[in-house]
Amino acid sequence: MNTPDWSDHNFATAAVRAGHRRSNEGENAEAIFTTSSFVFDNAAQAADRFQNNAPGNVYSRFTNPTVRAFEQRLATLEGGEACIATASGMAAIMASCVALLAPGEHVVASSGLFGSTSQFFRKYLTRIGNPVDFARIDCLEDWAAKVTPQTRMLFVETPSNPLTQLADIRALAELANDNNALLVVDNCFCSPALQRPLDLGAHLVVHSATKFIDGQGRCVGGAVVGDKKRVGEDILGFLRTAGPTMSPFNAWVFLKGLETLQIRMQRHCESAMALALWLQQHNSVSRVYYPGLSSHPQHELCRQQQSGFGGIVSFEIAGGSRDNAWRVIDQTELLSITANLGDAKSTITHPATTTHGRLSDQDRAEAGIGEGLLRVAVGLESVDDIKADLERGLRDLSL
């Protein structure tokens, strides 16, 4: 039977089917190939495969059928030529930078980034010889002003974690092209079900598969999607050598996650919108960050660039104190107090002391993360129960 080109099919079909090649056993669900290495017919075949002169599996650090199935499915859903799966979202970001930047080449990144991404850029990428400057995510002039003749990468997370600020991907892609640089988009908050950065001109997409791709908070993993040369050769070469590899079991969980991604994202979006509207009228809340609200400064851009507003809602407790923010967290009974997002279980996080706790006070202030900020990653429970869980703490605040 011929394997169809799943990129010709609708998203929902590719999400269930792409990348799956049945073994001789005829299994309907994807098999998990838990083997470290693969056996060759003879020494010559081993030599050919090791030297890339013949296709086929070699060793699961860089060739594994279950991982490959996940890579092909995600590449199809993102509209990319190639995908490399990695051990975590941070490994995907690290691999993209280390494999593609030469010493001295400069990066401009958005200031509102996930804490570890920001730390990686500030502490480690700079140390290995790639200077990084930060631009205001929503200010194209600031991005342009930060670009130097050495700039080879623009890196953006849109919407950003936790403030849901957006970058105009098309405009940044143009800026990157004008300066012989790559635009890398962290598409973790949207997933390909809501946003396809490559269609808007981005060169690479990175993912924390840990989040919406898994969808049930089980495994840590990541991926880079893009063209055959950069991803299929350069990043694969780095993975083969440096080894930040996804395990076959995790790849299988992510394959299963992709099958339900679109319907889960629809529900995350609906519930997040309902929660944001409710929080917006609450006396104990001074500001809500959610791109679906018409009060969000980039609401219109979001409508053009995304096919849904996403599942993350952040909000400021009136008065802005850490005590009150923590009090709301501590009175929840349903929400999980944890930093993950994209799970069926709703989670609540105090970014200033957790995900963004390792930033200096100044960097945190520049990123707009205050002590009174809370982030809710809206899960798949009843939104009425989520509201009731937050209401217990919110109504008790002495403001």
Ligand X SMILES: Cc1ncc(COP(=O)(O)O)c(C=O)c1O
Tell me which residues in 325-354 interact with ligand X (CB under 6 A): none
Q: How far is CA 214 from CA 86, 118, 217, 267, 380, in A?
A: 14, 23, 6, 15, 14
Nearer to ligand X, 90 or 198 (CB): 90
111 touches ligand X (CB under 6 A): no
Size of the site for ligand X (CB under 6 A): 14
Select from 114, 120, 155, 252 the one that contacts ligand X (CB under 6 A).
114
161 touches ligand X (CB under 6 A): yes
Q: In this chain, which stretch among 94-102, 114-122, 146-154, 264-272 interacts with ligand X, using CB under 6 A? A: 114-122
Provide the CA 286 distance to its chain's centre, in angstroms: 28
Select from 97, 167, 202, 220 the one that contacts ligand X (CB under 6 A).
220
157 touches ligand X (CB under 6 A): yes
**Sheet architecture: strand order including 82-86:** 82-86, 222-226, 204-208, 182-186, 151-157, 106-110, 132-135
Residues in a beta bridge with 337? 348
Nearer to ligand X, 89 or 372 (CB): 89
For residue 194, the 8-state DSSP code is: T
94 touches ligand X (CB under 6 A): no
CB of 246 to ligand X, least distance (A): 11
Select from 19, 65, 80, 89 the one that contacts ligand X (CB under 6 A).
89
Nearer to ligand X, 40 or 249 (CB): 249
The identity of residue 379, as a single letter, is G
CB of 42 to ligand X, least distance (A): 40
Task: Please tell me the distance from the alpha carbon of residue 317 to that of residue 73, in angstroms, as a whole number.
Answer: 41
Tell me which residues in 189-218 interact with ligand X (CB under 6 A): 208, 210
Tokens of 147: 């670009």
The DSSP result for 250-293, as a single string, is HHHHHHHHHHTHHHHHHHHHHHHHHHHHHHHT-TTEEEEE-TTS
- What is the chain's Cα-based Rg? 21
The answer for residues whose C-beta is within 8 angstroms of residue 279's C-beta and 6 or more apart is: 285, 288, 313, 315, 390
Q: In this chain, which stretch among 16-24, 84-92, 118-126, 359-367 interacts with ligand X, using CB under 6 A? A: 84-92
275 touches ligand X (CB under 6 A): no
The identity of residue 243, as a single letter, is G
Task: Please tell me the distance from the alpha carbon of residue 375 to that of residue 390, in angstroms, as a whole number.
Answer: 12
Nearer to ligand X, 135 or 339 (CB): 339
Nearer to ligand X, 91 or 182 (CB): 91
Interaction pattern, residues 221-240, with ligand X; x per rule: CB under 6 A: -x------------------
Q: In this chain, which stretch among 52-60, 64-72, 109-117, 124-132 interacts with ligand X, using CB under 6 A? A: 109-117
85 touches ligand X (CB under 6 A): no
Provide the CA 56 distance to its chain's centre, in angstroms: 30
Q: Which residues bind ligand X (CB under 6 A)?
A: 88-90, 114, 116-117, 157, 161, 186, 188, 208, 210, 220, 222
